[in-house]
């Protein structure tokens, strides 16, 4: 959702379209496959300056620390994250795209995510090359204009806030726990 907002607001994005839109994410995934290879090859990072790039939290460790980053860290209720993942995996298994396998229960997965997020919080706090803005997923869905304003200010104020807010598709917030 955030990377889509940034693109709508006028920020150039580093995306490749390899992962096509689907029922789980009808607007697409807005990803750059090279992010997954950061540990082996981070040569593309310097060319990404000024562009929006979706980076999952566990790949942040592999970003070169000689660059400066403005990190928009999306926060979401972990129960909702787990419900969303379960729904996506069930749909993919029903289509024969994956085989259902046994995975840890939600309580255990939630604890693991909480631990990993705590560790990345500590790691980021000790890395001055990261400027960070925490953005709550539910807040974006409930008040997209206010959150677009926050994000725009954090990024320097040059984006189209109205277009960013309009890019939020609240119909895709399907795993609400509250």
Task: Report pLDDT for 174.
Answer: 47
Q: Is pLDDT at 16 greater than 80 in this prediction? A: yes
Q: What is the pLDDT of residues 48-97, one digit of tens each?
A: 999 999 999 999 999 999 999 999 999 988 777 676 666 666 565 566 66
Region of 19 (left: φ > 0; alpha: ψ -120 to 50; beta: rest) is beta
Q: Which residue has the higher pLDDT, 88 or 156?
A: 156
Task: Report pLDDT for 89.
Answer: 62
Q: Do 24 and 169 touch, CB atoms closer than 8 A?
A: no
**Extended strands (E) in the chain:** 69-75, 130-136
Hey, CA dihedral for 94, 35, 72, 165, is it positive or negative? negative
Q: What is the pLDDT of residues 99-154, one digit of tens each?
A: 655 566 778 888 888 899 999 999 999 999 999 999 999 999 999 999 999 999 99
Rounded Cα distance, 107 and 113, in Å: 10
């Amino acid at each position: 959702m955030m990377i889509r907002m940034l693109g709508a607001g006028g920020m150039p994005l580093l995306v490749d379209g390899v992962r096509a839109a689907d029922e789980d994410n009808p607007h697409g995934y807005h990803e750059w496959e090279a992010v997954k290879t950061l540990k082996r090859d981070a040569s593309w990072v310097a060319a990404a300056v000024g562009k929006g790039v979706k980076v999952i939290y566990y790949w942040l460790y592999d970003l070169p620390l000689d660059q400066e980053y403005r990190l928009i860290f999306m926060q979401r209720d972990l129960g909702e994250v787990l419900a969303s993942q379960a729904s996506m995996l069930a749909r993919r298994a029903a289509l024969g795209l994956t085989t259902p396998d046994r995975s840890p229960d939600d309580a255990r997965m939630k604890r693991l995510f909480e631990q990993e997020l705590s560790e990345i919080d500590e790691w980021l706090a000790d890395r001055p090359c990261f400027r960070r803005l925490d953005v709550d997923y539910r807040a974006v869905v409930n008040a997209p204009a206010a959150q677009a304003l926050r994000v725009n200010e954090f990024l320097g104020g040059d984006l189209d806030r109205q277009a960013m807010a309009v890019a939020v598709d609240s119909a895709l917030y399907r795993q609400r726990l509250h």
